[in-house]
Structure 1
Amino acid sequence: MIGTVTTGSSFYHCISYCLEDKQKLTADEKIKNELTEDLQHKNRAEVLAYNYCFGNKQELADQFHEVARLSKRVQQPVLHLSLRLAPGEKLDREQLVAMGKTLAETFGVGDHQYLTILHKDTREQHIHLVANRVGYDGKAVSTSNNYFEMDQLCRRLEKEYHLREVLSARRFLSQEQRQIPRHDIRKEQLRHDLQQTLQKVNDYEAFHKQMQQLGYKIIKGRGICFLDDKKVKIKGSEVGYSLATIERILAIKRQLQEKQLQKIATALQPKQQKQAIHLSRDRQKIQRSIHPTSNMKDWENAVEKEINRSIGQLQKTLNHLLYDLTKPEPMQESISPELLKESERLKKKQRHLHL
């Protein structure tokens, strides 16, 4: 199970997102996707529970806003929570309602305004909870430790509803648990897309365009990050493709391409073709392979065939080289606690000697 926590300032926009269908799909596309994917894209949202609120999205937003005005200090009164089950898992409506209530109580908004919504347009069953951080007493719930609370809640719900148990976020794990290898489908997909893209392109502009077509948003600074269609951010270094690695691969590919073009251009120059013909010791062998009655055109065709064969071998060698070149950098394994302690001990000893 995966949980998310966000805060904001606009109740209307948050409630609209949760209650409305996806804007990027037309009516025809919704019907087509429903037939092919067995999902509900039209009227995708089902409200599971209203708590101290009612009405349409505008009425709900107005009610939330009126209560939020009781606190003049809170600039982000919107609390948006979500829980997503693992692929293949499914709970009934009653269980989802109970899970939403537990979610609200965990974050201290059980007696505040909130509504719980089920989305039916994804293969992974998931619910949203939009709550007012400000209560009727004018006090707002704290947002400190929200991520830790969500992490602990997910682990607790997995056991309570007999769902697939997964590891918590790395920062919430003990040193021993961090040694356990993790299986991350998103990172594997990004690593595959990066390798395939780097095999096709030779400059950064083409690389950026190709990754955008695959659905990634690129954030480039001192390093490079990729945002997928679910807004999940992954650093390039986490999958073996740091910005320096990507730039190095593209630079080497450009150099190889330039050398390849020079060789092809040289091989196709008519004067050098004639010199190669006169100087080659294999000229007679090639001539014998041609029918005795052949003319100069036959000879030129044979030479061109030989050149094309050489170019083909060069291209094949280049392809193998590029495949090896675009492999991701090996990821560093987790460092054991014993090695970290030994490293600290040596550093202290070195500082002592220096003094």
Structure 2
Amino acid sequence: MIGHVSIGRSFYHCISYCLEDKRELSEKKKLALAMQDHLQHKGRAEVLEYNKCFGNKYELTEQFKDVRKLSRRVEKPMLHLTLRLAPEDTLTKEQLREIGRECAKEFGIADNQYICVLHKDTKEQHIHIVANRVGFNGKVANDSNSYKRMSELCRRLEKKYSLQEVLSPRVFLSSKDRLLPRHDSRKEKLKTDIQQTLKYAGSYLVFERQMQNLGYKVLKSRGISFIDDKKVKIKGSEVGFSLTKIEKILRQKKQLAIKNAGEVKNRNKDSLSISNSFNTGMQNEEKQSYNSGRTGGEVVKEILGVTAQLMNFEYEPDYIDPELQKIPKKKKNKPSLRR
């Protein structure tokens, strides 16, 4: 189970997001997605519980605002909590409702206004809780150490409901546990996507476009970062692909392609010249034997092979292919024989 905590100023926008379908999806797109993944994109939200409040988004917003006036000093009265189950985990609606109540109790809003909403448009079950941090007594729910509290809550709920255990964020672990290797499926997927994209991208612009087509937002400055469809930001260096390494791989692929293209061009030119000179004296089998060389497919295979070698994580950033470092020697002019 993964939890998320945020606070904000606007009740209306958060309540609207939780109660409505995604705005960027048209009715036609919702139907197409439902046919594709068998999920509920139209009418995705189901309210599991109204706690000391009721109504639609407008009525809820006004009720929250009325109670918020009891503490005018609070700048961010809205509390938004999200709990998402791991893949293949499922709970009944009543169990999800119980989890929502335990979450509200953990964050001190059990007696405050809140709604608990189930979203049905993702494969993993997840609930949203939108709450008023200001209680009917005028006191404000404390939001300190919220991420640590959420992490500890998730671990307790996993044990209580026999759910898959998800690792806590590294920052909340002991110094000893932080040294243990951790498997992060999100980073593994990003690493694989970068590797596959680099195999066929011929330039950085093509690489960036293909990563965007895979659902990533690419941020490039002094380094490079990727934001996936869950809004999670990961640095390229965290998965073994810094901006320097990506650019070096693409540069060496381009240089190798140019080199191979030059070799093929020269070979074809020489073959054509010799073929014209000895066309009448050479048999068809001899011509085929002489002109045998690397085909276009073999050149592509060589480029992909070099790319795979460069993408090896043992690859040193400063490494340059020795073949590309060779500088052609200038021919020395022979001294003229003057008497």
Which interval holds the TM-score relative to the shorter structure?
0.7 to 0.9
Is residue 310 of structure 2 the alignment partner of residue 315 of structure 1?
no
**Is the alpha carbon distance of 1:218 and 1:274 closer, same or farther for their aligned partners in structure 2, counting shifts above 3 Å?**
closer
CA distance in 2: counterparts of 1:322 and 1:258, whole angstroms: 15
Give CA deviations for 1:249-290 in whole Å, capped at 9, x if unaligned.
122122222222322333344xx44555599xxx79x92444
**Is the alpha carbon distance of 1:6 and 1:161 closer, same or farther for their aligned partners in structure 2, counting shifts above 3 Å?**
same
CA distance in 2: counterparts of 1:35 and 1:227, whole angstroms: 27
Preserved CA contact (<8 Å) 2:271 2:291: no
Give CA deviations for 1:1-26 in whole Å, capped at 9, x if unaligned.
10011122221111111111122333
Identity of aligned residues (%): 51
Aligned to 2:326: none
Q: Flag the structure with higher helix content.
A: 1
Alignment of 1:176-191 (within 5 A): 176-191=176-191
Gap runs ≥5 in structure 2 = 316-339
Alignment of 1:210-229 (within 5 A): 210-229=210-229
Gap runs ≥5 in structure 1 = 292-298, 331-355
2:143 aligned partner, one-letter code: T
- Give the deviation of 1:185 after TM superposition: 1.8
Q: 1:287 aligns with which of 270, 282, 289?
A: 282
**Is the alpha carbon distance of 1:287 and 1:312 closer, same or farther for their aligned partners in structure 2, counting shifts above 3 Å?**
farther
TM-score by length of 2: 0.84
Aligned to 2:52: 52
Instruction: Indicate the SS of the match to 1:306.
Output: coil
Preserved CA contact (<8 Å) 1:199 1:326: no
Instruction: Indicate the SS of the match to 1:260.
Output: helix
CA distance in 2: counterparts of 1:41 and 1:210, whole angstroms: 27
CA distance in 1: counterparts of 2:51 and 2:254, whole angstroms: 61
1:323 aligned partner, one-letter code: A
Aligned to 2:196: 196
Figure out how many residues of one structure are paired with residues of the other and give that number: 314
Instruction: Indicate the SS of the match to 2:292.
Output: helix
Preserved CA contact (<8 Å) 1:78 1:130: yes
Give CA deviations for 1:179-204 in whole Å, capped at 9, x if unaligned.
43322221111111101111111222
Is residue 75 of structure 2 the alignment partner of residue 75 of structure 1?
yes
Give CA deviations for 1:215-257 in whole Å, capped at 9, x if unaligned.
1011223322111111111111111111121121122122222
- Give the deviation of 1:319 after TM superposition: 2.2
- Give the deviation of 1:32 after TM superposition: 3.8
- Give the deviation of 1:99 after TM superposition: 0.9
Aligned to 2:108: 108
- Give the deviation of 1:91 after TM superposition: 1.3
Aligned to 1:350: none
CA distance in 1: counterparts of 2:261 and 2:67, whole angstroms: 70
TM-score by length of 1: 0.80
**Is the alpha carbon distance of 1:213 and 1:36 closer, same or farther for their aligned partners in structure 2, counting shifts above 3 Å?**
closer
Aligned to 1:161: 161
CA distance in 1: counterparts of 2:291 and 2:77, whole angstroms: 74
Aligned to 1:239: 239
Preserved CA contact (<8 Å) 2:7 2:78: yes
Give CA deviations for 1:19-57 in whole Å, capped at 9, x if unaligned.
111223332333343344332222111111111211111
Preserved CA contact (<8 Å) 1:195 1:327: no
Give CA deviations for 1:297-344 in whole Å, capped at 9, x if unaligned.
xx6xx489635x4554333322211222234458xxxxxxxxxxxxxx
CA distance in 1: counterparts of 2:51 and 2:111, whole angstroms: 8
Instruction: Indicate the SS of the match to 1:255.
Output: helix
CA distance in 2: counterparts of 1:135 and 1:174, whole angstroms: 35
Preserved CA contact (<8 Å) 2:77 2:132: yes
2:132 aligned partner, one-letter code: N
- For structure 1, which segment, 79-88 or 20-29, has the greater mean C-alpha deviation from structure 2 after superposition? 20-29
